[in-house]
Structure 1
Amino acid sequence: MPKPETPLLTADIIIELADRPGRPIVLIERRYPPLGWAIPGGFVDLGERIEAAAVREALEETALPVRLCVLLGLYSDPARDPRGHTVSAVYVAEATGEPRAQDDARHLAVFAPDALPEPLAFDHAQILGDYQRYRETGRITPLWSPMTLDGA
């Protein structure tokens, strides 16, 4: 049986620094194209749980051990990554300590969620907007409804 083609799976982590006032978030500046500022994350390895990939990617890119708090959502627009179709599970996590740019991160910085850098890579502006709404309301915003699924 031929192997079916499916989207690649990624895990992204919005890391809140719980030991700093206002709980700022950690973003990385990507070392490789597509360039720009991004939520830390990366591809899920074969045989790996998505949650484990999120924790691993956070540590690899920021040197921070994280505690996953909530699944913000799944992002699956076929055009979200110019390298090909990916689906990302995006988690909100918390950490303490001093983050350091590692692995695929050229630079790393800490930002207030309402003062983000540009440009943001991929669909991370949309994801961070959803995160801001989550922080304001305490609720996950539905990403779609039957009325919008067909593009109407």
Structure 2
Amino acid sequence: MILEKSCPRCGTVVETYRNPFPTTDVVLIREGRVLLIRRGAPPEGWALPGGFIDYGESAEAAARRELSEETGLRATALSLLGVYSEPGRDPRFHTLSVVYLGEADGELRAGDDVTDARWFPLASLPADVAFDHRQIVADAAARLGMERPAGD
């Protein structure tokens, strides 16, 4: 997001503010398996369900909405796992992601902007996990007292 401050008299831009884009992700782990979605848009790869936080929406509401839109699942419990803000975590632009560890119910289906959704054993995540989501899954597994995924 870019915000500009202009001179009130002449309109010349005097300052430019560049802020990270706020996003959210949800980690669901069941029986040693984590839910990943196959992104339908670049950058492609497997990722945690999530997306951009809309203006006027809380991070938790966005997490619930994105989980439902992308997987058909309804979050029944969410707890904050952490905030991930490394500038290079998304190749498109700087994002700041509020990540939740959650539980959900419903029938899994690939939804909005997703070509597939499935559960992967923590010990064998796909090679093409997008962004820093492999690290996020490892952090979630550690929080739950589980073995870290292979490759971490």
Shift of 1:96: 2.3
Matches within 5 A, 1:32-111: 32-111=41-120
More strand, by proportion: 2
Q: Does 1:134 pair with 2:143? A: yes
Q: Bigger relative contact order, structure 1 or 2, given CA contacts below 8 A and separation 6+?
A: 1
SS in structure 1 opposite 2:119? strand
| Gap runs ≥5 in structure 1 | 138-152
SS in structure 2 opposite 1:136? coil
Deviations 1:77-111 (A, max 9, x none): 00000000000011011112321001111111112
Who is 1:113 aligned against?
122
What's the TM-score once normalised by structure 2's chain length?
A: 0.81
What's the TM-score once normalised by structure 1's chain length?
A: 0.81
How many angstroms apart in 2 are the aligned matches of 1:114 and 1:70?
23
SS in structure 1 opposite 2:17? coil
Runs of 4+ in 1 over 6 A off after TM superposition: none
Shift of 1:113: 2.3
Identity rate of aligned residues, in percent?
46
The one of 12, 22, 27 aligned to 2:25: 12
The one of 31, 34, 44 aligned to 1:25: 34
Q: CA RMSD of the aligned region, Å?
A: 1.6
SS in structure 1 opposite 2:89? coil
Who is 1:145 aligned against?
none
| Gap runs ≥5 in structure 2 | 6-15, 147-152
Who is 1:141 aligned against?
none
Whether the 8 Å CA contact 1:15–1:66 is kept in 2: the answer is no
Who is 2:11 aligned against?
none
How many angstroms apart in 1 are the aligned matches of 2:50 and 2:78?
16
SS in structure 1 opposite 2:123? coil
How many angstroms apart in 2 are the aligned matches of 1:27 and 1:15?
9
